[in-house]
Structure 1
């Protein structure tokens, strides 16, 4: 690759959350948590092979389709099966993978495929790559990766080994997208024959990764070592990996502390206490783009239509205290709209939200709105505690902040399938006042956050459309000077901090628990698009 990039989501519980809340009014560099602990990118390299690994996954796997791999962090599984043209390393740098990349000019990317093969032994061709990329950017797929293809005008095969991608304007983030599952390559012939079943949990997939699909049940999926894997530098150290769906904290902590499951990313927060004292393994804190935030819904007939009330909620929160109480050692105050793996690139200027509350300023804004418009109806928060009790604790905290300011809040705790259905429907018809976001982009670049605020973005529930932000996003994507791109990212944040279509609360480090006999796993959130199972082995 000839060009590198320098700039790359009850009263007792409430008492627990609020206890002690008394605070006052290129390649990413290593980052630290608030207590000074360094956030890792990887664990020590493995030195020996192991027969089998039993791993945990904090949801029910929704799909094996790379185009849909952002949903529920499904990429955490899929990245062990399907490979992108480039690859995002655990430190978020991007390197050649299935292909090597060169630029003919600022708007023409040329990718030359290596001698890679699919699981069935057939070669990976440029035609397969063109098919896969075109499918991901096809609006009919409704892929969350699609916004990264916004500047792509054509994808063509020049010969069996070479494809060219033409852009309408320079886009320095698109290269990074090719290092995620947005750039994954599937065999065209198999995929077209699979039709609607492509990517189903029955293994309807033909990829080139270090593992192949072996079997799937309602509670787990098993991957087998690809005995003929083309890349000798990443040959798996284990013959088989069983990934178990561990949704609740009690089940996860019991399985991990007993050694029945040997490791897990992003385990439920309520498992942290048990795991932190377990002799079975160790918790690792990794670099992450992840945040917990509150997301505003449809502004029509929404009490939060007035940005002053959004500002009041933001000012009223003690981010430092609530992040620590709810997320423990993995939580820090979100003083930026960007997670820690991104703010480390932008410097101190990235901090625009105070870690502590300013209740006097918050109350003044609420009083001003009520004086002008009268009492507001209750704010309805739609959420689900089914993804973890920390969601409920954060919502209860926000309710107390709001009510302290004189704003009523109604809680609508829904079963996960109901909440997910509502969120999916909200992409075209948002019907809630407020919901939550818990995660972050795979790509550690400000644009990966900012594209959520563009018109038509899947999670732009307010219909937010701001010229300053749109122009800044365009600059952050196209400018060749890293300083200019950083300046644009900060300008966009300044406007978003005023308008607050999303209220960031806590940065959340990537959590990894791994048994004492294993090592090698990436620690950062890049694991959501990296073949982590291939590099885990014995100490």
Structure 2
């Protein structure tokens, strides 16, 4: 699990049930995957004093504030502060009360019943079970075009996949409102991590009347947004920044102490540092150039995250990348330790596999998944050259050009330049053509498969290895790179089907699948696991990281002058 960052110096950066048949099915009160339904009390080391307004940074514009359409970390962050689903995550990444006051799950694990609290939308309408049903159906509506709706609901909620395939109607979805305060959800199969999935943005409720009144304008400007969460967006200057303010209609408004959070889009680290030093902003990310300078500052800290940076190889858009030896050569050719020590210098660590370290433990054990598996990635120039030569011989050429897609922000540019240098230095005959684009454009190209090789990122959507390993199923929503393995598909299907209620066997199957993905197929190349060095005004307390959902949680934050 991700470690909680105590907030003497808090931080922020721009980072899922068969309906009860006539009420006769047996049910057992669920105690939660992580803890009970009772809200965890948040510890406070002080109290709010002074102006409760802060200004933080974001690396890019918000592509969308529509929960059905969001696919990026910036959108997750800010929609996660303005919407609230059945649950939120506390400082230990444990589930605490959101819109749900309690839940029950049937003995066979197929039916969940959630009881909702009294809560309001920012327009005064009550939050009801119908709001969840509408939002989840909308995420599957082909006219809406949600990427994550079919991905998260398909194969999980009853009939979701059939709806996505055009074989069932939206009304057939296994989510129904028994009454205004009772949401009944039927699953296709037992899903060990379902409750954790409901924290993800796609599972947020939506006010149908409001969404339909706004039409195409919905969630495109601050005035066309709605909130049932701690904050409400009140200003949105596209490309420059946005403001969220405390929502007085939020059910737990008395807990929320910050009145205003301003976010400024800052692409260059040096600009952010200058603005922090002059007191214009309260938080900024640091890169290698500034870490040593500020390491002893009271405002300096490092946020550890289970976010993976890796190469995606599109086997359909570049003949060379369809060759497994070429892919292996590229992976072996990157000195990950030097990358994190010199170029990043922010606490990031070399990746040893596709499932990050300190994210999830083996069942009934404190052993980390990564430790149980051992390293599957290494820097080895000799092996790189060996596989490269094999690849070139198979291709019948002595030179290859590969386009590498990445973000156009300052740190990303430095990392892309490092990748280019490493590959061209260690693999004779390769030419790396960098394609640096705005974050929103990179996400679009990734979604459409419009890339050859991509410097990609992935963060968890729920606390389970499946959130990483199910990405590469044949024709999967997040595959988009032409990888297909019947053996890999079978392993993931077995883990989530036959072994769904046998945790030990399930995790052993995940270990086997990860080995296949990397050691045999080299479908992707993990590079490093993220951490962010940054400055955060020491007077700001109560901000913490979470394993999923918004990267940083501001509900319990406050300023103590």
Name the TM-score, length of structure 2 as normaliser: 0.81
- 1:155 maps to which of 175, 183, 186: 175
Cα–Cα, structure 1 residues 327 and 483, in superposed 2: closer, same or farther, change >3 Å? farther
Does residue 1:206 correspond to 2:201, yes or no?
A: no
1:269 aligns with 2:273: no
CA distance in 2, matches of 1:366, 1:65: 44
1:350 to 2:373 alignment: yes
Contact 2:266 2:272 in 1 (8 A): yes
- Comparing 374-383 with 497-506, which one deviates more in the overlay? 374-383
Partner residue, 2:206 = 186
Per-residue deviation, 1:363: 1.9
Task: Report the Cα distance in structure 2 between the residues aligned to 1:536 and 1:78, rounded to whole angstroms.
Answer: 20
Structure 1 partner of 2:464: 445
**C-alpha separation in 2, matches of 1:485 and 1:388:** 41
Task: Tell me if the contact between 2:401 and 2:431 (Cα under 8 Å) persists in the aligned partners.
Answer: yes
What is residue 334 of structure 1 aligned with on the other side?
351
Instruction: Please say if residues 307 and 530 of structure 2, whose CA atoms lie closer than 8 Å, have aligned partners that are also in contact.
Output: yes
Q: Are the equivalent residues in 2 in contact too, given 1:135–1:141 (CA < 8 A)?
A: no
Q: 144, 149, 167: which one pairs with 2:148?
A: 144
Q: What secondary structure is seen at the aligned counterpart in 2 of 1:212?
A: strand
| Conserved 8 A contact 2:475-2:484 | no
Provide the C-alpha distance between the structure 2 equivalents of 1:204 and 1:537, rounded to a whole number of angstroms.
29
What SS is found at the alignment partner of 1:213? Answer: strand
More helix by share: 1
**Partner of 2:310: helix, strand, or coil?**
strand
Match of 1:141, SS state, is coil
CA apart distance, 1:340 = 2.6
| CA distance 1:523–1:273, shift in 2 (3 Å) | same
Q: 2: distance between equivalents of 1:391 and 1:93?
A: 36
Contact 1:95 1:179 in 2 (8 A): no
Q: Tell me if structure 1 keeps the 8 A contact 2:320–2:395.
A: no
**How far apart are the structure 2 equivalents of 1:464 and 1:176?**
28
For the 8 Å contact 2:544–2:553, the answer to whether it is kept is: no
Gap change, CA 1:446 and 1:43, over 3 Å in 2: farther
Cα separation, partners in 2 of 1:352 and 1:513, compared to 1, 3 Å? same
Alignment partner of 2:274: what SS? helix
Q: 1:294 aligns with which of 294, 298, 311?
A: 311
- Whether the 8 Å CA contact 1:241–1:533 is kept in 2: the answer is no
Residues 441-467 of structure 1, C-alpha deviations (whole Å, 9 max, x = no match): 343321111232123334313222223
Q: Distance in 1 between matches of 2:319 and 2:201?
A: 36
Distance 1:422 1:210 in 2: 30
Structure 1's 305 and 346: CA in aligned 2 closer, same or farther, altered over 3 A?
Answer: same
- How far off is 1:141 after superposition? 2.6
**Counterpart of 1:76?**
77
Which of 263, 274, 290 lines up with 1:254 in the alignment?
274
Between 1:371-380 and 1:244-253, the stretch displaced more is 371-380
* SS in structure 2 at match of 1:414: strand
Alignment of 1:483-494 (within 5 A): 483-494=504-515
Structure-2 separation of matches of 1:392 and 1:459: 26
Hey, what's the Cα distance between the residues in 1 that align with 2:371 and 2:179?
48
Distance 1:257 1:317 in 2: 35
Q: CA RMSD in A?
A: 2.8
Q: Spell out, residue by residue over 1:273-329, the C-alpha distance to the aligned partner (whole angstroms, 9 max, x if none).
A: 3773485x5233234121221111143542121111111221222222222222213
How many residue pairs were aligned? 498
Partners of 1:199 and 1:103 lie apart in 2 by 34
Counterpart in 2 of 1:103?
A: 105
Q: Is residue 129–residue 180 contact of structure 2 (8 Å, CA) maintained in 1?
A: yes
- What is the Cα deviation at residue 237 of structure 1? 1.0
How far, CA to CA, are the matches of 2:556 and 2:65 in structure 1? 18
Mapped partners of 1:240, 1:491: distance in 2: 48
Cα shift at 1:158: 0.7
Q: Which moved more, 1:498-507 or 1:518-527?
A: 518-527
Residues 78 and 270 (structure 1), Cα distance of their counterparts in 2 relative to 1, 3 Å cut: farther
Q: Greater CA deviation, 373-382 or 448-457?
A: 373-382
Task: Give the Cα–Cα distance (whole angstroms) in 2 for the partners of residues 482 and 322 of structure 1.
Answer: 36
Partner of residue 47, structure 1: 47
- Go from structure 1 to structure 2 and tell me whether the alpha carbon gap of 1:352 and 1:170 turns closer, same or farther (over 3 Å shift): same
Match of 2:135 in 1: 132
Cα gap change, 1:211 to 1:343, in 2 (>3 Å)? closer
* Residues in 2 aligned to 1:285 and 1:92: alpha-carbon distance in whole angstroms: 18
Instruction: Give 1:303's match in structure 2, choosing from 320, 328, 343.
Output: 320
Shift of 1:193: 1.2
Partner SS for 1:247: coil
What residue is the counterpart of 1:23 in the other structure? none
Q: Measured at CA, do residues 426 and 334 of structure 1 come closer, stay the same or move farther in structure 2, by a change above 3 Å?
A: closer
* Gaps in structure 1 of 5+ consecutive residues: 7-25, 28-41
CA 1:409–1:489 in 2, change beyond 3 Å: closer, same or farther? Answer: same
Candidates 296, 321, 330, aligned match of 1:313: 330
Task: Specify the alignment match of 1:169 in structure 2.
Answer: 189
Question: Structure 1 residues 268 and 76, CA, compared in 2 at 3 Å: closer, same or farther?
Answer: farther
Counterpart CA distance in 1 for 2:46 and 2:495 is 38
- Report deviation, 1:272: 4.3
My pick for the range that moved more, 201-210 or 366-375, is 366-375
- C-alpha distance in structure 1 between counterparts of 2:276 and 2:86, whole Å: 34
Cα distance in 2 for residues equivalent to 1:529 and 1:415? 23
- The answer (yes or no) to whether the contact 1:323–1:505 under 8 Å persists in 2 is no
User: 2:489 aligns to what?
Assistant: 470
CA shift digits 1:358-406 (9 cap, x unpaired): 2222222222233444225423223245123344434433543344232
